[in-house]
């Protein structure tokens, strides 16, 4: 399973999320991307059938861009770590159809446990195939 | 005056039904076989169809989706002489208006006709042509069209919807389309991925928490149920929810009020619920893994998405749609495809459904690189191997039977092929004796075999076996 970690412009304080998820995924499967344009570029290249995208601190503009990429994100699990929980941010976040939403000033444990679950599911799927 | 078609191979039954219909002032037309019914449906528009179940050239139940999909989309009343409750269930599931048993008596038939025609009239006056927003839903098969009808019905109501279907059939896509076409489309569509949420996270994710509710809860947070206020809450893979969360959720569903984790005050949320699962919830209920009262609440409206192998006529449209999409995505010129490429897609059974087809097409486009035409060799190996093996098996052991089974071929087959052919033979024998033992009672056959109803029907179809009715 590929993990793309998108560090957005507002993701300044997101280092601890990156630190905590890095050990979960094999090194060759994790890619850190800077900004939503880099994500759009990356999605134009082949990837594993199972893939997760962790978005750290997206701006509204980033969220809009990710929404526009939704067609390319089918079957990818998106985990959003938002910078704030304003009504507009939450509303945009849900339009991404994310698997999980957290916020930057919250503990990383939620994101880590969801990612572990996704990794487990991906392994089962790969084994069954 | 309505036009009513009677499909029955029994001419006496046809005639007596036609007499009742004419007496009611309607026009009756008759077909003595499935084939003749198909012809009539192509030529004329009907308001109502009475169809027998068992006919020499096919089953009225199999004809049902075609009748519903014909241009006049008549209502259907299934008639049978075999008194099969499972057939009745299947008829209703496939969209029949009603189900009556032979011998037919005048009053029930008249009542049934009257009600069906009343319903059709009301439906006609109430339904205004509305363009559904169905981005991503591709195809025009009768089964897909029936799903879109239910989607439209769901979108125009506030009822809870339960979407079922095998993995990869597009349950989330349909849930999203229901929201997009509903009066709630301006508010949030909130996805709860029950399979991805570890047990420890589910409660606070759904209901939120107050400050200090647990270690690390430094701030209060709204849960997903609250965020769905005014919009739609989509519980994906609801079969994965623990029984304790089901209990809590049932209360929320009834009262639209809940208490955040660690909180003393109740919070309200006016959400509309759409749930989806690939599990057989009835089986889960029997095993104690799902609450029956929650299932009743969930499936006010049920939408069952068929597997791709039952909608093979949509494969070409899906292929073209995704070829265009992937060529755009990878920024490469549009690729053509060879006839045998399409043939392979049509012959494969797609156990992973549309999702597997999409992944196979993406893999084919990537494998083809600069080549302008897609050939079967560009498809994933497992698909080509599966078809090659099936072809070899068909040639070597065309009709395995107890008398001539593959054992007779013995070492002419390799071990894998031999094992597969033997399993096929054993499975068919098992199902035949199961039907004999249960007199074709599907419910009893499910109980003994431990198979779900849909799995049993799939296997019976595979081996050309028929339950009673």
- CATH number for the domain harbouring residue A117: 3.40.50.2300
The reported pLDDT for the residue numbered B422 is 77
Residues of B in contact with A116 (CB under 8 A): 198
pLDDT over 90 at B179, yes or no: yes
pLDDT in tens, B17-75: 999 999 898 999 999 999 999 888 888 889 999 998 888 888 888 888 888 877 788 89
B236: left (phi over 0), alpha (psi -120 to 50) or beta: beta
Higher pLDDT, B113 or B463: B113
What backbone phi and psi angles, to 5 degrees, belong to B386? -60, -45
Give the span between the Cα atoms of B390 and B157, in whole angstroms. 46
Give the span between the Cα atoms of B414 and B7, in whole angstroms. 49
Give the span between the Cα atoms of B155 and B184, in whole angstroms. 9
The reported pLDDT for the residue numbered B82 is 57
pLDDT over 90 at B12, yes or no: no
pLDDT in tens, B256-298: 999 999 988 999 999 999 999 999 999 999 999 999 999 999 9
The reported pLDDT for the residue numbered B398 is 52
Residues of B in contact with A94 (CB under 8 A): 188-191, 227
What is the token pair recorded at B234?
A: 């989509």
Question: What percent of chain B is modeled with pLDDT above 70?
Answer: 92
pLDDT over 50 at B469, yes or no: no
Residue with tokens 């032979």: B102
User: Of B73-87, B326-340, B431-445, which has the strongest mean pLDDT?
Assistant: B326-340
Q: Which residues are CB-contacts of B120 (< 8 A; sequence separation ≥ 6)?
A: B2, B47, B48, B74, B75
A110 touching B (Cβ < 8 Å): yes
The reported pLDDT for the residue numbered B98 is 84
Residues of B in contact with A17 (CB under 8 A): none
Give buried/exposed letters for B187-217 (b at 16+ CB in 10 A, else e). bbbbbbbbbbbeeebbbbbbbbbbeebeeeb
A129 touching B (Cβ < 8 Å): yes
Number of domains within chain A:
1
The reported pLDDT for the residue numbered B468 is 62
Q: Which residues are CB-contacts of B269 (< 8 A; sequence separation ≥ 6)?
A: B225, B226, B228, B229, B252, B256, B257, B258
Rounded to a whole number of angstroms, the distance from the CA of A107 to the nearest CA of chain B is: 6
Q: Under an 8 A CB cutoff, do A99 and B205 touch?
A: no
- Mean pLDDT, range B174-201, rounded to an integer: 95
Give the span between the Cα atoms of B72 and B187, in whole angstroms. 36
Q: Under an 8 A CB cutoff, do A72 and B216 touch?
A: no
pLDDT in tens, A76-86: 999 999 999 99
What is the token pair recorded at B129?
A: 């042509």
Could you give the ipTM of this predicted complex? 0.92
B211 touching A (Cβ < 8 Å): no
Give the span between the Cα atoms of B111 and B103, in whole angstroms. 15
* CA B325 centroid distance within chain: 26
Pick among B191, B325, B327 to test the A interface (most A CBs inside 10 A): B191
Rounded to a whole number of angstroms, the distance from the CA of A50 to the nearest CA of chain B is: 10
Residue B11 burial (CB count, 10 A): 10
Provide the domain limits for residue A52: 2-128
E strand or H helix that includes residue B4: strand B3-7
Q: Which residue ranges form the domains of chain B, and what is each CATH number?
A: 3-126 (3.40.50.2300), 142-306 (3.40.50.300), 309-393 (1.10.8.60), 400-462 (no CATH)
Least confident of B225-234, B346-355, B406-415: B406-415
DSSP state of B104: P
Q: CA geometry: angle at B142 spanning B138 and B144, to 5°?
A: 35
The reported pLDDT for the residue numbered B214 is 83
């Amino acid at each position: 399973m590929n993990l793309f970690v998108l560090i957005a412009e507002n993701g300044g304080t997101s280092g601890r999320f990156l630190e905590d998820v890095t050990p979960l995924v094999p090194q060759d499967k994790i890619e850190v991307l800077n900004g939503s344009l880099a994500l759009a570029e990356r999605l134009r290249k082949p990837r594993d059938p199972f893939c997760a995208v962790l978005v750290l601190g997206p701006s509204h503009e980033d969220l809009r861009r990710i929404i526009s990429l939704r067609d390319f994100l089918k079957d990818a699990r998106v985990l959003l770590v938002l910078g704030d929980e304003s009504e507009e941010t939450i509303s945009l976040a849900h339009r991404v159809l994310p698997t999980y939403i957290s916020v930057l000033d919250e503990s990383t444990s939620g994101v880590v446990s969801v990612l572990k679950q996704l990794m487990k599911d991906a392994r089962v799927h790969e084994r069954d195939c | 005056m309505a036009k009513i078609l009677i499909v029955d191979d029994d001419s006496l039954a046809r005639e007596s039904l036609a007499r009742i219909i004419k007496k009611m002032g309607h026009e009756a037309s008759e077909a003595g076989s499935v084939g003749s019914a198909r012809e009539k449906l192509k030529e004329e528009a009907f308001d109502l169809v009475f169809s027998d179940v068992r006919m020499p050239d096919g089953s009225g139940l199999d004809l049902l989706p075609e009748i519903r999909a014909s241009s006049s989309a008549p209502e259907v009343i299934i008639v049978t002489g075999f008194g099969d409750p499972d057939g009745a269930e299947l008829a209703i599931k496939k969209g029949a208006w009603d189900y009556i048993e032979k011998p037919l008596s005048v009053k029930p038939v008249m009542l049934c006709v009257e009600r069906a025609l009343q319903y059709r009239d009301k439906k006609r006056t109430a339904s205004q042509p509305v363009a559904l927003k169905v981005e991503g839903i591709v195809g025009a098969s009768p089964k897909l069209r029936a799903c879109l009808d239910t989607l439209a019905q769901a979108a125009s109501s506030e009822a809870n919807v339960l979407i079922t279907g095998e993995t990869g059939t597009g349950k989330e896509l349909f849930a999203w389309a229901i929201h997009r076409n509903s009066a709630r489309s301006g508010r949030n569509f909130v996805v709860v991925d029950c399979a991805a949420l570890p047990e420890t996270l589910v409660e606070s994710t759904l209901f939120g928490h107050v400050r200090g509710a647990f270690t690390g809860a430094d701030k209060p947070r709204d849960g997903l149920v609250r965020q769905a206020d005014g919009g739609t809450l989509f519980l994906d893979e609801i079969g994965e929810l623990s029984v304790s969360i089901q209990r809590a959720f049932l209360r929320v569903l009834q009262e639209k009020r809940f208490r955040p984790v660690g909180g003393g005050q109740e919070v309200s949320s006016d959400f509309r619920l759409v749930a989806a699962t690939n599990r057989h919830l009835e089986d889960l209920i029997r095993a104690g893994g799902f609450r029956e009262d929650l299932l009743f609440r969930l499936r006010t409206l049920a939408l069952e998405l068929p597997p791709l192998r039952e909608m093979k006529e949509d494969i070409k449209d899906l292929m073209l749609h995704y070829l265009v999409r992937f060529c755009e995505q990878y920024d490469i010129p549009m690729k053509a495809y060879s006839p045998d490429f399409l043939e392979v897609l049509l012959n494969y059974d797609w156990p992973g459904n549309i999702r597997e087809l999409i992944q196979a097409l993406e893999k084919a486009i990537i494998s083809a690189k600069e080549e302008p035409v897609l050939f079967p060799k560009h498809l994933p190996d497992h698909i080509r191997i599966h078809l090659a093996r099936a072809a070899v098996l068909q040639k070597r052991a065309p009709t395995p039977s107890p008398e001539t089974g593959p054992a007779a071929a013995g070492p002419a087959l390799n071990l894998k092929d031999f094992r597969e052919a033997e399993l096929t033979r054993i499975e068919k024998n098992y199902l035949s004796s199961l039907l004999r033992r249960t007199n074709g009672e599907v419910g009893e056959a499910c109980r003994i075999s431990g198979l779900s109803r849909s799995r049993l029907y799939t296997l019976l179809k595979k081996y050309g076996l028929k339950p009673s009715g």
